[in-house]
Chain A
Amino acid sequence: MADTQRPLSPHLQIYKRQVQMMTSIVHRATGIALAVGSLLVVGGLLHLAAGEDSFNHFKRIIGSPLGMVLLIGWSWSLFFHLCNGIRHLIQDAGLGYGIPQFVRSSWLSIAGSIVLTVLVWAYVMTAGGAA
């Protein structure tokens, strides 16, 4: 902790659970997850640049059960960070600051991210699985 004598704001457990609180925390968490996931993009490009064997090896890794779990997690993280990021950009423009609007847009971000993730994976599954 910073060595300050100033009064501190109450800790998290003092507050009632609110959806805006969750979207804020999850926005950061998905941001960190996506930063780690960016290594997958680098990995994919490097394997594609390295030749056919290397690319097929990469496809086998991301098509494995663990690879699929990570891909589903990262795709939901991406869609949540995207939906909630758009919400933040709108709020940065000074819109949607009423408490009911704040709560509604939080739920919209959550619903939007789930719908997009389900749509993408429904497409992937009907097309015969990843990779």
Chain B
Amino acid sequence: MSAKETVVKDRRHPLKIARGLGSSQSGVGHWWSQRVTAAALVLLGVWFVITVLCLLHADYATAHAAVAKPWNALLLIAFVLTMFWHAVLGLQVVIEDYVHTRWKEVALLVAIKFLAVLGALASVLAVLRIALTP
């Protein structure tokens, strides 16, 4: 459909039709969220790697006690939530770039969000269970 036909049908200015479409409203939000979660993950990721290395060879009781410490539990939840958020933002861009069949694209975009929310909720519940049971 050419722009001219659209105008005749809609009797609207082409700019009126284009405005608000595409990434004109939400694109910058996605970009910023990706950068802010990236900056958070630089700190949280390094903390996570060091924490796991400190727990090398830890038995169940030691690992359980370490995760149950308030600061560790808090940072673990922050790490997991930020990680899944950042993963969804990144995978979304990859899917939008390479999947060109519209229904497959939408299905994948919804699927990664479902999986990420499930993963995040399961992780948070696990940390809370460890932190709140003696």
Contact = CB atoms under 8 A, between A and B. Distances in A.
A12 interface: no
Given A2-B100, A38-B87, A86 B42 contact: yes
A82 B87 contact: no
A42 B113 CA distance: 16
Nearest to B61: A52
Contact of B64 (A48, A88, A120, A124): A48
B127 interface: yes
B90 A124 contact: no
Interface residues of A, number: 34
A56 B64 CA distance: 12
Contacts of A66: none
B127 A45 contact: yes
Interface stretch (B5-13, B14-22, B118-126): B118-126
Given A56-B60, A78-B49, A35 B38 contact: no
A41 B130 contact: no
Interface in A27-81: 28, 31-32, 34-35, 38-39, 41-42, 45-46, 48-49, 51-52, 55-56, 75, 78
Contact of A120 (B53, B80, B87, B126): B53
A99 interface: no
A8 interface: no
B35 interface: yes
Contacts, number: 85
Contacts of B123: 41-42, 45-46
Interface string B6-50: 000000000000000000000000000001001101100110010
Contacts of B119: 38-39, 42
A35 B129 contact: no
A49 B129 contact: yes
Those 8 A-B pairs whose CB atoms lie nearest each other, nearest first: A49-B126, A45-B126, A52-B60, A35-B87, A49-B129, A55-B60, A31-B90, A46-B126
Interface of A: 1-2, 28, 31-32, 34-35, 38-39, 41-42, 45-46, 48-49, 51-52, 55-56, 75, 78, 82, 85-86, 88-89, 92, 120, 123-124, 127-128, 130-131
